[in-house]
């Protein structure tokens, strides 16, 4: 079944993922992942790789097998640069919080060596974020990345930084559990003094972002910046008992997010006026 529905609530708060939703830091991220995978034995993680029957898709099972056999990502995955480190660790370790915590810790050690240039994923990212603020929407920034890296990247992006665009920021080492747990989203809402609900949207580019949104009880908007076709989107969000979480909306770029938010706000205002 294709994902065609609109969100049920107009956004008062939009929480947004950082890497591969707002900015491009793929080179540093993949360099750090490349450092972690050869250390799977040393980190005691090889035995925690998922078995083929535990993987969500055949493609996930193939990824795990390749990593098991080669201690590296398949060159095609590296070349395409469409999957985040969080999703990589989800594919490799599934619902194993200890294994993922160790993997993220090793990633952070390596990422420190590569953190540097960060560029907007879209040319008009700042303008679109400002357009959301102009709709009287509160913005929060969410990242599995450590705060030391986020503080640096947020300060240098676009030359002058984007700190002025966000009213809250939560990072991977601010909470006990990173995405797909809902801790990061709930902490951001706590900072903002807001409750979870349909009027809070969380926008992210990965399956773990959608899962985190659903577990937090907020509207999940999948940012399809990688350009997946509908068949693949339906595959990674199958809506099964084992993998039930599906996005409430899909946008291909931030301009679509602004249009969607504007449409939902206008619709809400029309409903309010009709009640008067």
One digit per residue, pLDDT tens: the chain, 276 residues?
344 568 989 999 999 999 999 999 888 999 999 999 999 999 999 999 999 999 989 999 999 999 999 999 999 998 888 888 889 999 999 999 999 999 999 999 999 999 878 999 999 999 999 999 999 999 999 999 999 999 999 999 999 999 999 999 999 999 999 999 999 999 999 999 999 999 999 999 999 999 999 999 999 999 999 899 999 899 899 999 988 999 999 999 999 999 999 999 988 777 766 665
pLDDT at 4: 53
- Residue corresponding to tokens 């390749």: 66
Closest CA to 251 of 225, 229, 232: 225
Of the chain, the end-to-end C-alpha distance in Å amounts to: 38
8 Å CB contact between 261 and 14: yes
Chain length of the chain = 276
pTM exceeds 0.85: yes
State residue 139 phi and psi, 5-degree precision: -110, 140
Please name every residue paired with 93 in a beta bridge, in sequence order, or none if there are none.
none
Nearest CA-CA partner of 35 in 96, 112, 95, 100: 112
Written as six digits, the tokens of 231 are 């068949």
Q: What angle do CA 5, 196, 236 make, to 5 degrees?
A: 45
Name beta bridge partners: 200: 13
């Amino acid at each position: 079944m294709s994902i065609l529905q609109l969100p049920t609530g107009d956004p008062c708060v939009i929480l947004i993922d950082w890497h591969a939703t707002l900015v491009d830091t793929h080179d540093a991220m993949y360099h750090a992942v490349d450092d972690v995978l050869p250390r799977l034995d040393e980190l005691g993680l090889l035995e925690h790789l998922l078995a083929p029957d535990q993987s969500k898709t055949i493609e996930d099972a193939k990824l795990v097998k390749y990593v098991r056999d080669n201690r590296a990502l398949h060159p095609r995955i590296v070349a395409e640069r469409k999957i985040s480190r969080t999703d990589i660790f989800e594919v490799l370790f599934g619902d194993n919080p200890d294994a993922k915590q160790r993997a993220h810790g090793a990633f952070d050690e390596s990422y420190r060596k590569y953190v540097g240039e960060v560029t907007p994923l879209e040319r008009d990212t700042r303008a679109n974020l400002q357009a959301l603020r102009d709709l009287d929407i509160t913005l929060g920034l969410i990242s599995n990345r450590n705060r030391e890296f986020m503080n640096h990247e947020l300060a240098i992006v676009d030359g002058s930084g984007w700190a002025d665009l966000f009213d809250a920021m939560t990072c991977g080492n601010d909470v006990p559990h990173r995405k797909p747990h809902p801790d990061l989203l709930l902490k951001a809402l706590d900072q903002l003094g807001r409750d979870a609900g349909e009027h809070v949207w969380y926008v992210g580019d990965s399956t773990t972002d959608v899962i985190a949104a659903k577990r937090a009880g907020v509207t999940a908007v999948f940012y399809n910046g990688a350009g997946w076709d509908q068949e693949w989107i339906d595959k990674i969000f199958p809506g099964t008992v084992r993998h039930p979480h599906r996005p409430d909306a899909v946008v291909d770029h931030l301009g679509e997010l602004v249009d969607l938010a504007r449409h939902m706000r206008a619709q809400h205002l029309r409903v309010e006026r009709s009640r008067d």
